[in-house]
Structure 1
């Protein structure tokens, strides 16, 4: 990728308040062309507000925001024809078929009739909806509805798309298929900015930005962020391999930094000088006597996210 290319998204010093409360506070970042860029944060972190600003649907109080080299306040009409947006609740027409929904959005974006047939076939094929083209959208599964919504957002061949938690509430198989589609779009050179509550999806992004109460906690490539994880991490189970429950209000033993459930076990975050398995297990047993199986593990994005949230308290 050429280093002298203008960023697909440029944000500097972005501020947005709602009723005196900071929705976004001093947010600055860039997204390179062709990047799959992930927004991570708990509910209320500011992800949707940020996406609405980037898609010219919401104003802001201070800062500079450019998409595809254009000012979102000045060039909003141009940008609406060059960008695609899939909000959390995409408004499909339930009584229209898959094909009719796509035609409707083609009309909205002014897609020429001579190009519509070819574009329709492309979208139905890549979204795996060809055999369901005549099915009403109300009769589609949740995963199919999301694929249709993405197809509608892509009908005008945008250069960049913004997706707000597109797989929330979708079954695991459909989630995987949806991200396979995003991977295909990335290979075609489309820039993708997506928010997700699923840490396994976040791992698939080229770059990540973690938001908390409107402020950036971390940003960077997943591997680089994980390399900077400050603790040694362990997984603990009982002798019967049964998951050990630990109350959120439980007292964390001295020398242990974090204890939380993950993937059927308890994850224990520990500083270096207390990092032997025997020492950690001994500490854990003071509050969880049933703990008996321990192994050192490599942190994942979920572990990083939990650490970042704990660091804000």
Structure 2
């Protein structure tokens, strides 16, 4: 590929940053890369891989320490403004003005880019049609759902016609339906001839791109067509059935720590396993007994994890060490919700929802943006009163004894909710005091959690400067200081890469096996496979409840391919919406 055919050409690009502690972080360590014009290219890698840094360099917002970087044929280091005039960049936290309407946000960005009215008259109808935001023109951006906000952010980047579009994690925190709609827009843009570079934590998204670039610690490990990368895992992938009575997540935790295993994740009641080598694998065994296993075709995610295993294998095994054992779910009900209703004025956010959760169970609350799951979650945590219905948590009625019940709960929020200016130690000390821990028990508890979550080396670092995966660890450690009986996880892995998510779920499995009840919301449908049972909500109503295998049965697919959890989720929600539409017609 010649330079004129490339949307981006990087040659030995290097970039370092210095933290407040004086630690030097090598964000890019000699990256060389060519990205084809008119193509869709994915940047994939764990936290700290250098994906965002590369996009910021390409947009002219940051200057490389050395090396050369040409964007659409222009040296971006020498002429950043020329590049910025011809590209569009949508960062992870796109700057929407929440008090302004959808139309006013678009007008503001058109003003900033100097788009004349005649051009706006041509582009606005296309943007509204593409994003389906036309009927929400007058709605304040702050009142849009997460998926609609992302669509508006994308529309704002497209008020002028760029030659290159840079998207940094555009679907983080977005439900599967909205995620599908966003990608339909991106595919149409590429079909119309636009060059797009996207960083993503969703490996199924990378698999649908024309090229994928796998990064780690500021270096490129592999690049090529996704099917070429996937082929490297040929002969290494199996589905293993758990022994009777053992949840798939428990078998996953035990297999994940074995020396010849590169990856293991729950899937449809079994465990998908990736071996390090395809050469004559021995049978899978657990406690001296053979496990039933079936060879399966590799996915892009299998190849991704195989590539990273050689680099992060020891670290991930440490995170799973000593946690696996027999599950301790029993029949004791610790959360009981009956006819739960929550009204906001005339709007019904939660509409007569009922379910029960047993001790030691992992229970999933799933639903599209605006489905009512976050409102339900807040009521379960005692953060929001119910309009009607009954809510018993940890043996207490939340309507009459909320404070007493909250002492037995732990909570990890979707967004990092600790104090970013305080160090790791200062945050843990503060929350230990808030939970009433004193003296030697407080010191011992903090010490134990720092060791468990490998936070010692960050003791004096302000928590806001922690890598994403370690922010998660600190938030979870703070929530566990008082040894809660019930742990609430509100989209706690949003924005985390696959490596960090597996480490996180390894710890959650360990907690559940020690009798801690876990209630989780997530937009990663593969994470629902870690749950014992799931409830799917939309428009405040319960659409379906059951095990992951029960939920998958709602999806239709061909004989040769089992339905995915995401396909089942979309099928359930769309079926109910069609039914509601027909009923209201």
TM-score w.r.t. length of structure 1: 0.90
Q: Is residue 275 of structure 2 the alignment partner of residue 274 of structure 1?
A: no
Alpha-carbon distance change, 186 to 293 in structure 1, aligned in 2, over 3 angstroms: same
Higher RCO (CA < 8 A, seq sep 6+): 1
Query: Hey, what does 1:76 align to over in structure 2?
Result: 80
Asked if structure 1 preserves the Cα contact closer than 8 Å seen for 2:232 and 2:303, the reply is no
Shift, 1:239, TM fit: 5.5
CA contact (8 A) 1:237 1:244 kept: no
Alpha-carbon shift at residue 249 of structure 1 (Å): 9.1
2:242, 2:271 within 8 Å by CA — same for their partners in 1?
Answer: no
In 2, the alpha carbon distance for the partners of 1:5 and 1:141 equals 41
The alignment status of 1:151 with 2:158, answered yes or no, reads no
Q: Give the CA deviation at 1:244.
A: 4.6
Hey, what does 1:285 align to over in structure 2? 286
Partners of 1:4 and 1:57 in 2: how far apart?
Answer: 22
Distance 1:79 1:4 in 2: 15
* Higher-Rg member (1/2): 2
CA distance in 2, matches of 1:248, 1:184: 43
Of 222, 226, 229 in structure 1, the residue corresponding to residue 230 of structure 2 is 226
Cα separation, partners in 2 of 1:259 and 1:158, compared to 1, 3 Å: closer
**In the aligned structure 1, how far is the partner of 2:264 from the partner of 2:255?**
11
Aligned to 2:301: 302
The equivalences for 1:129-208 within 5 A come to: 129-208=133-212
Q: Which runs of 5+ in 2 are unaligned?
A: 19-23, 313-585
Name the counterpart of 2:357: none
Partner Cα distance (1:97, 1:127) in 2: 15
Counterparts in 2 of 1:248 and 1:28: CA distance versus 1, 3 Å:
farther
- Uncovered stretches (5+) of structure 1, i.e. residues with no partner: none
- Superposition pairs of residues 2-21 of structure 1, within 5 angstroms: 5-19=4-18, 20-21=24-25
**Alignment match, 2:572:** none
Secondary structure of 1:93 counterpart? coil
Select the structure that is richer in helix. Answer: 2
Counterpart contact for 2:255–2:264, Cα < 8 Å: no
Distance 1:263 1:67 in 2: 41
Number of residue pairs aligned between Structure 1 and Structure 2: 303
Say if 1:182 and 1:77 are closer, same or farther in 2 by CA, change over 3 A.
same
Distance in 1 (CA, whole Å) between partners of 2:304 and 2:256 is: 20
Aligned to 2:330: none
Is 2:46 the partner of 1:45? Answer: no
> Do the aligned residues in 1 keep the contact of 2:263 with 2:306 (CA within 8 Å)?
no
**How far did residue 218 of structure 1 move?**
0.8
How large is the RMSD of aligned CA atoms in angstroms? 2.1
CA distance in 1, matches of 2:161, 2:29: 33
Structure 1 match to 2:525 = none
After TM superposition, give the deviation of residue 251 of structure 1 in Å.
Answer: 4.6
What displacement does 1:114 show? Answer: 1.6
| TM-score normalised per structure 2 | 0.50
Q: d(CA) in 1 for partners of 2:66 and 2:254? A: 38
Given that 2:165 and 2:197 are in contact with CA atoms closer than 8 Å, whether structure 1 keeps it comes out as yes
- Could you tell me whether the CA contact under 8 Å between 1:15 and 1:24 is conserved in 2? yes
Q: 2: distance between equivalents of 1:143 and 1:193?
A: 20
Distance 2:266 2:112 in 1: 45
- Between the aligned partners of 1:249 and 1:43, the Cα distance in structure 2 is 24
Distance 1:79 1:259 in 2: 41
Kept in 2: contact 1:164–1:196 (CA 8 A): yes
* 3-state SS of paired residue (2:61): coil
Secondary structure of the structure 2 residue equivalent to 1:274:
coil
Distance 1:250 1:44 in 2: 23
Q: Any conservation in 1 of the 2:26–2:217 contact (CA below 8 Å)?
A: yes
Is the partner of 1:273 in helix, strand or coil? Answer: coil
